[in-house]
Amino acid sequence: MLVKIVTFQWNKIEIETSLLVKSVLFGPILLVMAACSAPEKLSESEESVLIQRVSDRWRCLERNNYACAYKFLSPAYREVFSVEMYRNRYLLNADRVLTGVKVVAYDRGAAVASVRVGVMSGPLIGTPSASRGVAVTSMSSNEAWLREQGKWWYHENP
């Protein structure tokens, strides 16, 4: 019976020691990882360039000019998908107006920005009169923009 108590005491000391060692070893590592993953901000000039680029793309979409909007897609996307393929993703033209652009997150290491876009959208052009009775709706969506070759590019999910 005495042996069991000593063994139990020894295991307890071993567990406490291993937790202390783990804390000492992994604590600084976790702090470094947390610091590296902290969100970064764009400078004012970088942010204004991005907002202008997002707005320019949406001006193309307001005019339902998909060839114009295609020019804002990443070079990797344009290597795979032609302008006709991109245009065919959008079967109908919509009446929409950009209402706002806000950069919500930025990852400098990945060169990716998340941008929230506000849009007022009305009934589709050329739809039956019953559909035109639907009121104008507002929506917001998040877009991913990539920084490559010194320019911002819209990331379209294929």
Residues 22, 4 share a domain: yes
How many independent structural domains does the chain possess?
2
Question: What is the rounded CA–CA span in Å between residue 52 and residue 16?
Answer: 57
Per-position b or e across 52-84, b if 16+ CB within 10 A of its CB: ebbeebbebbeebebeebbebbbeebbeebeee
Range of the domain at 150: 44-154
Residues 65, 16 share a domain: no
Residues 65, 86 share a domain: yes
Residues 99, 27 share a domain: no
Model pTM? 0.68
Task: Give pLDDT tens digits along the chain (158 positions).
Answer: 455 555 555 555 555 555 444 544 444 444 444 445 544 788 999 999 999 999 999 999 999 899 999 999 999 999 999 999 999 987 667 788 999 999 999 999 999 999 999 999 876 656 666 555 566 788 899 999 999 989 999 998 86
Residues 106, 69 share a domain: yes
Residues 58, 22 share a domain: no
Residue 145: which residues within 8 A CB-CB, separation 6 or more? Answer: 50, 53, 54, 112, 113, 114, 115, 152, 153, 154, 155
Residues 78, 1 share a domain: no
Give ∠ CA 136-138-142 in degrees, rounded to 5. 145
Residues 89, 63 share a domain: yes
Residues 55, 17 share a domain: no
Residues 117, 72 share a domain: yes
Residues 53, 6 share a domain: no
